[in-house]
Amino acid sequence: MSGRRWYRTAGRYATLTVLALMFVFPLYMMVVNSLLPPEQLLKKANFWVSPGDALWGGYSTAWNDGHIGEYLGNSVVVTTLIVAGQVVTAVLAAYAFAFLDFPLKRTLFVVFLTTMMIPFEVVFFVNLDTITDFGDLPLVGDYVGFDTYGGLALPFLATGFGAFLVRQAFLSLPRDLRDAAALDGYGHFRFLTRVAIPLARPSIAALGLFAFFGAWNQYLWPLVASTEDHRTVQVGLGFVSEGSVDQVNVAFAALVLASIPLFVLLIVFQKQLVRGLTAGAVKG
């Protein structure tokens, strides 16, 4: 290796490292300060906590007194409902758009797409009234009203984007496959479950992940449509950190706890994640 090359590579690593450090600094502080005994915070020299001083108690305080454990549970329930809803409605609708023919099909598809034009922030307060009214319905009122899991999930059980994505995947299946299946006597249901879904799995998984991230990170709707009884973790973080100047380690522990699920997903499902997040951005 020539001397010049050595400089070059070192320079590249240096740039990378500087950028990486600057980038990750806040996260680093988040983890370190979650372990910091509150006394040390006043000195503001809190870049490092020695293993001896590390206080793990912040995590259990955040989990219990701070209710983060409860909030995480609520997030899991609501997110599951939303993801399931979005995937199911998308697959069903996409099947219809891709493989069936019916009057007004094109119009309906356009209707699906137009839903993407109306941001939730525009309609949320009317939805709040609607959900509150749902609470008065007989039988189901307790499950779909204000401050219920149903109420938190209902507005998001379907998206135009989901139908679009899965329809695209279905459309890319070769025509011969359909014809062969028809010859073999496959009805719609069998075709859907035995052929279409398995072959479109990457797109469906991508949709699932996309939906998961969207649902898990929601803030506005859980903020206005629930009380502490069904609070999700994103909204809960704001409450845990409020007035916690004397217990910053607890607030940060809460942040770490709230991020762990996404971190895990990021690592385990990296490939599908990239696909889901870039869906529509790049070819293939």
Partner 1 sequence: MREALLGYALVLPALLVFGTFIFYPFVRTAWLGLFEQPLFGGDSTWVGLDQYLDEWRSDDFRNSLFVTVKFAVFTVPVGISLGVLLAVVGHQRLRGIGVYRTIFSSTVATSIAVASVLFFTLFNQQLGVLTKLLNREGETPVLDDPRLAFIAVCGVTIWQNLGLSFIVISAGLQAVPDELLEAARVDGAGAFRRFFRVTMPLLSPTLLFAVVVGSILAFQAFAQVDLLTEGGPGDRTNVLTYAIKTTALGNPPDQGAAAAYAMALFAITLLLTVVQLRFLERRVTYER
Partner 2 sequence: MRPMRWLPLVLAVALVAGGCGGGDDDDDTSTDDTSTDGTAASGDDDAAEVDPSLCPVDALTDADKPVEIEYWHAMTRANEEELIRLTDEFNASQSDVRVTLSASPSYPENLTRYTAGLSTDELPDLYQGEETNLQLLIDSQSIVPAAACIAAADYDTSGIIERVLTRYTVEGIQYAMPFNVSNPILYYNKTAFTAAGLDPEAPPTTLEEVRETSQAIVDSGVATHGISFKTDAWFTEQWMAKAGEEYVNNGNGRDARATAVAFDNETGLALYTWLSDMEKDGLLVSTGTGDLEHYVAIPNNESAMTIDSSAALGTIFQLFDQGQYANVDLGAAPMPGPASADGGVLVGGASNYVVNRSSDAEQAAAWKFAEFLADEQTQSEWAAATGYIPIREASTTISPLVERWVEQPELKVAYDQLLAGADNLATAGPVLGPAGARGEGMRGAVIDAIAAMFAEGLPPEDALAQATEGSNEAIEDYNDRVG
Site residues for partner 2 per CB under 8 A: 37-39, 41-42, 129-130, 132-133, 136, 239, 242-243, 245-246
For residue 137, state whether it binds partner 1 (rule: CB under 8 A).
no
CB-based contacts of 203, cutoff 8 Å, min separation 6 = 165, 166, 168, 169, 279
Q: How many CA atoms, within 13 angstroms, populate the side-chain half-sphere of residue 75? A: 26
Q: How far is CA 108 from CA 100, 113, 188, 189, 190, in A?
A: 13, 9, 20, 22, 25
Element (DSSP H or E) covering residue 51:
none
Cβ 136 to partner 2, closest distance in Å? 6
Q: How far is CA 41 from CA 23, 29, 37, 80, in A?
A: 22, 12, 7, 38
Q: Which stretch binds partner 1 (CB under 8 A): 53-61, 97-105, 175-183, 198-206?
A: 97-105
Would you say 171 or 245 has its CB closer to partner 2?
245
The interface partner of residue 243, options being partner 1, partner 2, none and the CB cut-off 5 to 8 Å by kind, is partner 2
The interface partner of residue 283, options being partner 2, partner 1, none and the CB cut-off 5 to 8 Å by kind, is partner 1
Would you say 207 or 240 has its CB closer to partner 2?
240
Q: Are 147 and 76 in contact (CB under 8 A)?
A: no
Count of CB atoms within 10 A of residue 182's CB? 11
Q: Are 224 and 241 in contact (CB under 8 A)?
A: no
Choose, by CB under 8 A, the member of 1, 122, 139, 183 that binds partner 1: 122
Cβ 163 to partner 1, closest distance in Å? 6
For partner 1, the binding residues in 51-80 under the rule CB under 8 A are none
Choose, by CB under 8 A, the member of 3, 26, 185, 243 that binds partner 1: 26
The backbone torsions φ and ψ at residue 48, rounded to the nearest 5 degrees and listed phi first, read -145, 140
Would you say 63 or 164 has its CB closer to partner 1?
164
The interface partner of residue 132, options being partner 1, partner 2, none and the CB cut-off 5 to 8 Å by kind, is partner 2
Which pair of tokens denotes residue 171? 């459309």
The backbone torsions φ and ψ at residue 147, rounded to the nearest 5 degrees and listed phi first, read 60, 50
Cα–Cα dist 17/217, whole Å: 29
Site string for partner 1, 163-202 (x = CB under 8 A): xx---x--xx---------------x--------------
The interface partner of residue 136, options being partner 2, partner 1, none and the CB cut-off 5 to 8 Å by kind, is partner 2
Would you say 111 or 137 has its CB closer to partner 2?
137
Q: Return the C-alpha torsion angle 172, 173, 176, 179, nearest 10.
A: -120
Would you say 92 or 181 has its CB closer to partner 1?
92
For partner 1, the binding residues in 77-96 under the rule CB under 8 A are 85, 88-90, 92-93, 95-96
